[in-house]
Amino acid sequence: MKRLYLFITFLCLFFACNPYKNLPSIAFTNDWRTKIIPPSTQLQGGNPEAGRAYLAAGDYIGSGIPWDTFKKKPNVKDTILNRTGENATLPSGIMVFEHANGTKVFSGNCFTCHGGYIEGQYIEGLGGLEQDFSKNRSLFFNLLDARVKMKFKKGSKERAAYEVFGDINNRAMHYIVTPFKGVNPAFRLEEAYVMRRNPDDLTLKEEDNYEMDKRYTLASDVPPWWHLKKKNGLYYNGMGRGDYTKLLMQASTQGIQDSTEARDIQQKFIDVLAYIESIEPPKYPKAINESLAKKGKRLFNRKCSNCHGTYGENETYPNKLVALDEVKTDPYYARNFSTKMYLADWYNESWYGQSEPNSYVQPEDGYIAPPLDGIWATAPFFHNASVPTIEGVLNSKKRPTYWKRTEQYDFEKIGWIYQKKKSASSKKVYNTTLPGYGKEGHYFGDQLEEEERQAVIEYLKTL
């Protein structure tokens, strides 16, 4: 009886404090159906190997946790990125680098979120969703801050090497807590990182540039890096335009001092861009029914290629932005940027948008129809990771409302084997009833017969 009472009390408190409860529904009417995103000139001549090495252990975060903060160090063998020195003893998502003042510091790197596993097989550039952002990390950073200040004297090089990193992360962590595991709050984190940065020179200031919405956290799936080479606009709504080196290096706002440091990093991201553009999608590892796949290719080219492009010897990709009214998938991600312009305005008015090479953010009420290379490996699907399998993408009746991902992959249906749940019983359960995390939309596959749908799925395995 006592346990039942505590559970009921918890439910009452949850729904009384649920930040998603009072969100307004979104009503909109697009005056367009589709738009083609035009190409922009990108910097060439980078070295892919240098770019990979820089992402794995470079100084693009700017500052970090002093390496000597803790006596006990991780001691694993980096068999993924095959780094040397201290980095050889760290997980692939953590790196040691030298701060500008000579202090050794460590932090996360881009492979924390841009490398993933399917049944134990690591795929470089795959959007990884292993991190659990449903946990509030504020306490950890508060304790870390206290530890650094206790360990190193005020005015020391170690404190100086930690200062910006510690300040920004201590303020940012409570803004990025997601309602469940399996989504990534990258843009929410970016909003928090630049909230106190001067747009002109990227230095920190005391007052906030804007007030972040504290009601809820919008998060998304992590797209695979190998799609970048085809895209004229980055991100799910295609809003990232112009120079990609600046758009890709925004994680640097976590710990750099100013725009002078940012400029040095941007030059190295020419190599990073070359590396990301060199990544090829992984091949489907199982047997494929070739005759069924050929039938699926004909269906795909007739019904799907107008938005998603064609594949093979003479590939095409239209870079088509599809209106919310047309695609009907959850609108909150797109509308978050098109109606709340403070982040977009900050970016466009900042060093990123006002210096060469120019980049800018242009949010619109739509989502870009993505390339489908390597789609077999990129589950879950939709921009918000709400659908666990391609079968569900092509048949809306097979999309679960509440589901929990397992560690097993379904190579036939293409996606994660999952457990259906009756409710959001834990933070490991994806809840598609929440605003921003809906499973609706993209009903185009519902028009297919079941045999046609299976043929298209078989063809998708070949991409």
pLDDT tens track, the chain, 463 positions: 444 444 333 334 343 355 666 666 777 678 899 999 999 999 999 999 999 999 999 999 999 999 999 988 788 888 999 999 999 999 999 999 999 999 999 999 999 999 999 998 999 999 988 889 999 888 989 999 999 999 999 999 999 999 999 999 988 988 999 999 999 999 999 999 999 999 999 999 989 999 988 888 999 999 999 999 999 999 999 999 999 999 999 999 999 999 999 999 999 999 999 999 999 999 999 999 999 999 999 999 999 999 999 999 889 999 999 999 999 999 999 999 988 888 899 999 999 999 999 999 999 999 999 999 999 999 999 999 999 999 999 999 999 999 999 999 999 999 999 999 999 999 999 999 999 999 999 999 999 999 999 999 999 999 9
Tokens of 328: 């009907």
Element (H, E) at 337: helix 332-339
Distances in Å between the Cα of 229 and the Cα atoms of 37, 356, 360 are 14, 21, 18
Q: How many domains does the chain have?
A: 1
**CA 177/CA 161 separation, integer angstroms:** 27
How many residues are recorded in the chain?
A: 463
Beta strand segments in 120-228, E: 121-124
Residue 19: its pLDDT value, please?
Answer: 63
Burial class of residue 383, CB neighbours in 10 A (0-12, 13-18, 19+): buried
Q: Are 440 and 329 in contact (CB under 8 A)?
A: yes
> What gap in Å lies between CA 253 and CA 362, rounded to an integer?
20
Residue of 453, 277, 303 lying closest to 373 (CA atoms) = 277
Is residue 60 within 8 A of residue 251, CB to CB? The reply is yes
H helix or E strand, kind and range, residue 296: helix 290-303
pLDDT given for residue 350 in this prediction: 97
Q: Are 395 and 453 in contact (CB under 8 A)?
A: yes
Neighbouring residues of 73: CB distance < 8 A, sequence distance ≥ 6:
86, 89
Q: Is 16 exposed, middle or buried (0-12, 13-18, 19+ CB in 10 A)?
A: exposed
Q: What is the DSSP letter of 269?
A: H
**Residue-number span of the structural domain to which 297 is assigned:** 2-460
Instruction: Report the distance separating Cα 2 and Cα 72, nearest Å.
Output: 42
State how beta strands 359-361 and 65-66 pair. Answer: unpaired
Phi (first) and psi of residue 357, to 5 degrees: -70, 140
In 109-259, beta strands by DSSP E: 115-118, 121-124, 240-242
Could you tell me which of 216, 225, 322 has the C-alpha nearest to residue 274? 225
- Measured CA to CA in angstroms, residue 125 lies from 116, 129, 156, 223, 394 at distances of 7, 12, 38, 9, 25
Q: How far is CA 69 from CA 77, 123, 130, 160, 257, in A?
A: 21, 32, 26, 13, 21
Region at 155 (left for phi over 0; alpha for psi -120 to 50; beta for the rest): left
DSSP string, 43-92: -----HHHHHHHHHH-STT---EETTS-SS------TTT---GGGGGS-T
